[in-house]
Structure 1
Amino acid sequence: MDRRKFIRNTAATSSLLTLGGLSLNSCDSPRNKHITILHTNDVHSHVDAFPNDHADFPGLGGLARRAGLVHSIRQENPNTLLFDAGDIFQGTPYFNFYGGELEFKLMSMLNYDATTIGNHDFDNGIDGLLAQMPYAKFNFLSANYDFSNTVLDGLTKPYKIYEKDGIKVGVYGLGIQLDGLVTKQLYKETVFINPFEVAIDMETKLKEVEKCDLVICLSHLGYEYNLEQKPDDLKLAKKTKHTDLIIGGHTHTFLDKPTVVTNGAGRDILVNQVGCFGVNLGRIDFYFNNETTVADGYTIKV
């Protein structure tokens, strides 16, 4: 895959960007460090690889292969985080038979750090999702679903901070409007909150209060819609000021490399999504030193 590099100058007196530069948040402490972000989305219970004669994804995917890739990358760089952007459930007989237990157990074996919640993760109802949570050894991040009056109250977090080699990475989650996608009896009293407003609150807290070096959003809003009033990742990127990377899902959008979007503060940030069914693994590498931050993003076929 071709790689595009984005560089910025972090000197306090200037924000000079080279061509194709990515302006990240300012980092105060001296360092020469490397953080790798791996991600999936919309895997939809696809545990096995596709057959070699499959029309769309011949010989691609498979959780065992993904595990091998993730292990290899962690060997290369121990400072690696692994995320998912939702819709873990629904799509193969594994979900029909096990109800999500297998998916969560296998993701836990891969040591996923966190996921957000997609609309299809409610397909067995909010009680069905609750029943499988004990098998998940990773965080469920959801900032704009209010589960206060449901059985999931207290079982999700709006954000989580991870620290790798002294770099603080703040991650928050956003979900799509469930009304119209999911039957009310499945999500029950879950309340959807405007994701744009929540994102501003989350990123501000993570950057200004928690002093995170990187701010990442796990989004299941969808990459892009023609409807102006419908939230999506590209609209979100334009409104945010402190978020550096949006890892998306829902629309099954295949990107070879992240999209660069100018945010509300005039900085370039990254939006990425790697299709569906586990046929791709997204990788974003952030390199830090005293003066510059470099982000190198691309998609790996599984």
Structure 2
Amino acid sequence: MKRREFIQQTSASAALVTVGGFGLTSFASGEKYKKITILHTNDVHSHIDPFGPDDGRNPNQGGVARRASLIDSIRKENPHTLLLDAGDIFQGTPYFNYYGGELEFKLMSKLKYDAATIGNHDFDNGLEGLFAQMPHAEFDFISANYDFSNTVMDGLVKPYKIFNKNGIKIGVFGMGIKLEGLVDKKMYKETEYLDPVEMSQEMTRILKEDEKCDLIICLSHIGYYYKNSPDHISDLVLAAKTKDIDLIIGGHTHTFLPKPTVVKNSLGNNMLVNQVGCFGLNLGKIDFYFDKNKNITSEGVSITV
């Protein structure tokens, strides 16, 4: 969906999806519902400015200013909105080479991001480089499967965070890709990688059973799917092997999805997986509707910035 088209009319054409095995009866009967909007980006890679008019693939697209305008219009439509990022904030333009990530974090703070997870390129200036920029981030970093206990990042990254929007309790946890063989050891040092499936099961147990969350989101940087290695851990594999996750927001593979993929979880219930490519070209928008019993229905779309 183009940005201009979105502003003129919202994503009413996006298909409604039943989440968690519940039906649409309450919505069809005209019963009141609560709406929660999730906005998300991934793999922005330090793209602050829009692509130029002569760019061969993405002319006049992207840019933080355009994204800010779009986010503001959506928040005005529904103040019960979360803004999340699935990692690889760093690396890709001279802005990162010169400022080391300071500008990226400051601008995300201006846009009022609520949380982000950590991608492999966010280690490109080492743990010390990431640590040095943390004071500029006025939002939380979350990762459940990176253990930073023996590093300078100890205590700066949470496994999950809970948000309350319009009486709906939303649990968000982070999940990162295996760094060994992908990132130089000297960049992540003693960071310990934990199994994504096991940690996701632990996070959903905590968020669903202990914290009583109504909506559970995994903010992932493990990749959408690997065709040549279908058993390799990815968002689609993680979705199928777990339960109680309502939405996986992905990154790493730069996968452009026009709308979320519907996946059956380990219990056979619907859940959503989404990713919006890279470089800030698109903004993901997913609306969740809760009836009086907190049964969930959703619709999602990718909006060109």
| CA deviation map 1:148-173 (0-9, x unaligned) | 11000010000000000110000000
1:80 corresponds to: 81
Alignment partner of 1:114 is 2:115: yes
- Matched with 1:239 is 241
Superimposed CA distance per residue, residues 90-137 of structure 1 (whole angstroms, 9 cap, x where no aligned partner)? 000000000000000000000000000000000000000000000000
Counterpart position of 2:177: 176
Kept in 1, the 8 Å contact 2:15–2:300? The answer is: yes
Structure 2 match to 1:222: 223
Give the match for residue 202 of structure 2: 201
Deviation, 1:288, is: 1.1
Give the structure 2 partner of residue 7 of structure 1.
18
What does residue 298 of structure 2 align with? 295
Mapped pair 1:59 → 2:71: no
- 1:55-91 Cα distance to aligned partner (Å, 9 max, x none): 1111110000000011111111000000000000000
SS in 2 for 1:274: coil
Q: TM-score, normalised by structure 2?
A: 0.91
Matches of 2:200 and 2:297 in 1, distance apart?
24
TM-score scaled to structure 1, two decimals?
A: 0.92
1:240-284 deviation digits (Å, cap 9, x = unpaired)? 110000000000000000000000011010000000000000000
Alignment of structure 1 residues 64-213 onto 2, 5 Å: 64-213=65-214
In 2: Cα distance, 1:180 partner to 1:256 partner: 31
Distance, in Å, in 2 between the alignment partners of 1:194 and 1:184 is 18
Tell whether the 8 Å contact from 2:18 to 2:270 is kept in structure 1 after alignment: no
Question: Which AA in structure 1 matches 2:303?
Answer: I
Letter of the 1:92 partner, please give it: T
Aligned equivalents of 1:124, 1:183: Cα separation in 2: 11
Q: Secondary structure at the match of 1:211?
A: coil
The gaps in structure 2 that reach 5 residues or longer are 2-12, 25-30
> How many residue pairs get matched?
286
Opposite residue 296 of structure 1, the aligned amino acid is E
CA contact (8 A) 2:22 2:296 kept: no
Amino acid at match of 2:51: F
Runs of 4+ in 1 over 4 A off after TM superposition: 15-18
How far apart are residue 289 of structure 1 and its match? 1.2
Is 2:288 aligned against 1:277? no
CA distance in 2, matches of 1:252, 1:112: 20
SS of the residue corresponding to residue 180 of structure 2 reads: coil
CA deviation digits over 1:167-202, x for unaligned, max 9? Answer: 000000000000111100000000101101000000
Contact in 1 for aligned 2:231/2:237 (Cα 8 Å): no
Gaps of 5+ in 1: 19-29
> What aligned pairs does 1:230-269 form with structure 2 within 5 A after superposition?
230-269=232-271
Counterpart in the other structure of 2:10: none
User: Equivalents in 1 of 2:155, 2:276: separation in Å?
Assistant: 30
Counterpart position of 2:9: none
Q: Give 1:293 shift.
A: 2.5
Q: In the alignment, what sits opposite 2:8?
A: none
The percentage of aligned residue pairs carrying the same residue is 64
Q: Secondary structure at the match of 1:160?
A: strand
Deviations 1:195-249, CA, capped at 9 Å, x for gaps: 0100000011101110000000000000001314421000000011100000000
Task: State the shift of 1:31 in Å.
Answer: 6.9
CA RMSD after TM alignment: 1.5
Deviation, structure 1 residue 16: 5.8
